[in-house]
Amino acid sequence: MSQSLARILSLVLALGLSCASPAAAQVYAGQAVAVDGDSLEIGSKRFRLFGIDALEARQTCTRREQAWQCGEEAAATLRGLIRDESVSCDQKDIDRYGRIVAVCTANRRDLAQVMVSMGLAVALREFTTDYVEWEELARQRGLGIWAAEFQRPSEFRAGDEESAREERAMLAEQQRRQSVRNAQELSRRAAASTSGVYYRNCAAARAAGAAPLYRGQPGYRSGLDADGDGIACEPYRGNRG
């Protein structure tokens, strides 16, 4: 087997392995915005709190024979917990909507644990038992939903048309993003197979001593040629004033 073919096969195997492990653990941190009682955003990334299911924002419960906007309270509580705090999220998985499922903390507090212990979310035993004890404690103390009549969030979503529309929209967006990733992957593999040389980015090309790359040279591709002048990874010239 030639060295060139061996490099191509190694690249394809590496790419395949990276695509098969989208949930590789990462830690994200920064200012966050609460979407509802169990999901939040840090920049362009959306996170779902691992191991719990909070009341939906539109969900209404009954407490002391009065309507209680329990879903709004859950969302407001999470907003309060992360306000002016840096949030750290330790990735556990990626759900089918493309959200990062993570254990998130703010001011050293596990946000999922706080939501469950206040009676504003239920523990998802099928994923972890970490929050079962806190749910039982909230139930014993009659906190939040445990002093009210309520539907489990999953049951509410199943009968709520707006939730169904949001789910379809999230799935469609996830499919669109996956299609883009697949197209990019095919482009990378095509570049590697046709030239036998592939640089993931300009830093890799420079590290290999190959930069700048000219159109037609092995390793050149339009994705590295930001200004489209036929020269990729040329030295940055900056503003001369």
pLDDT tens, position by position, 137-192? 999 999 999 999 999 999 999 887 887 787 787 788 777 877 877 777 777 666 65
Over its C-alpha atoms, the chain yields an Rg (Å, rounded) of 24
Distance CA 99, CA 128 (A): 18
Distance CA 129, CA 104 (A): 16
Instruction: State which CATH number among 3.40.50.11610, 2.40.50.90, 1.10.20.10, 3.40.50.620 fits the domain covering 23-175.
Output: 2.40.50.90
For residues 42 and 30, is the Cβ–Cβ distance under 8 A? Answer: yes
Distance CA 104, CA 124 (A): 16
Q: Which pLDDT value is given to residue 3?
A: 43
Q: Which pLDDT value is given to residue 150?
A: 95
Give the position of tokens 């593999």: 189
Residues with Cβ < 8 Å from 148, sequence gap 6 or more?
A: 61, 62, 63, 68, 70
Q: Which pLDDT value is given to residue 137?
A: 97
pLDDT over threshold 80, residue 5:
no
| Between 231 and 2, residue with greater pLDDT | 231
Distance CA 182, CA 51 (A): 30
For residues 40 and 104, is the Cβ–Cβ distance under 8 A? Answer: yes
Q: pTM, whole model, 2 decimals? A: 0.63
